Amino acid sequence: MSKPPFALTNAVLSWSGGKDSALCLHHALQNPNLRLTHLLTTLNEHYRRVAMHGVRAELLEAQAERIGLPLVPVWLPEMPSMEVYEQRMSEALGYLATQGISTTVFGDLHLQDLRAYREQQLARVGWQAEFPIWHKPAADVMREFIDLGFRAVVVCVNDQHLDQSFCGRELDEQFLRDLPAGVDPCGENGEYHSFVYDAPYFSQPIAIAPGEQVHRTYRPATDPDTANNDCYRNEPNPFSAGFWYQDLLLAEGHS
């Protein structure tokens, strides 16, 4: 039986803490057919940080508090297999299903393979996917993000595309003007990731302070030197992809 027109659908939003998920939430909140009830995030259980972004869990919790939605963390081991990833994600969706939720909202823009994977995995458990900013041009996404008053810091850059000087910078007009040719303005090819510390729907901004910058190297599972499963190294390696991370801290006296 099809849903009646304008029926409210309870939904969870896939939340990374960065610009795309933040703008996606803005659009989802404008949708009269959606009722956002939770945020869902994958985190590294060893480092207690957002997967890929390297942002501390407490900063993510500060975002959720200011948004006013409960955060559902999916804790993942270092370099999880697809089986482990899907098992833990299934457990999280099972919990959310008990809360009357059957839709996940994503901030994906252009990666068709990723969208197809998400839709297929959700369909297996009877869920649906929504993509509020799908196929919006990257320049338009960034223009809207800045014009709406979002504030963000770049917390991770892929050193195959951007040098260390881009890490830790404010995500603003000057940052976009300084991007080298060929780099997607939204970092859609993994060039950079960000942390949003203020948004139109935050109850108040998050006071942050910069920590240290570190360089980490990810070694794919096919690298024969990864027998000990330690995927972060400081030395160069021809099999590696390197990333600069800007650690962020909650400013003293703020939560």
pLDDT tens-digit profile of 94-107? Answer: 999 999 999 999 99
Cα–Cα distance measured from residue 48 to residue 110, given in angstroms and rounded to the nearest whole number: 29
Reduced to 3 states, what is the DSSP secondary structure of residue 105?
A: strand
**pLDDT tens-digit series, residues 77-90:** 988 899 999 999 99
Give this prediction's pTM. Answer: 0.87
pLDDT band at 218 (very low <50, low <70, confident <90, very high): confident
What's the token pair of residue 86? 């899907």
Judged against a pLDDT cut of 90, whether residue 230 lies above it is answered with no
pLDDT given for residue 6 in this prediction = 52
pLDDT of residue 254: 53
Residue 151: is its pLDDT beyond 60? yes
Token pair of 234 as six digits: 């400081």
The answer to whether 93 and 125 are in contact (CB under 8 A) is yes
pLDDT (mean) for 69-84: 93
The residue-averaged pLDDT of 130-144 equals 94
Rounded mean pLDDT of 221-229? 39
Residue 229, pLDDT score: 34
Q: Is the dihedral of CA 219, 223, 225, 226 positive or negative?
A: positive
| Cα–Cα separations (whole angstroms), residue 185 to 31, 190, 245, 255 | 26, 11, 19, 31
| Distance in angstroms (rounded) separating the CA atoms of residues 56 and 248 | 7
Tell me the pLDDT band of 122, cut-offs 50, 70 and 90.
very high
Percent of the chain with pLDDT over 70: 87
CATH architecture of 9-130: 3-Layer(aba) Sandwich (3.40)
Average pLDDT over residues 57-82: 95
How far apart are the C-alpha atoms of 114 and 110, rounded to whole Å? 9
Phi, psi (deg, nearest 5) at residue 155: -110, -10
* Of the listed ranges 14-28, 151-165, 169-183, 241-255, the one predicted with least confidence: 241-255
pLDDT at 227 over 60: no
Domain boundaries, the chain: 9-130
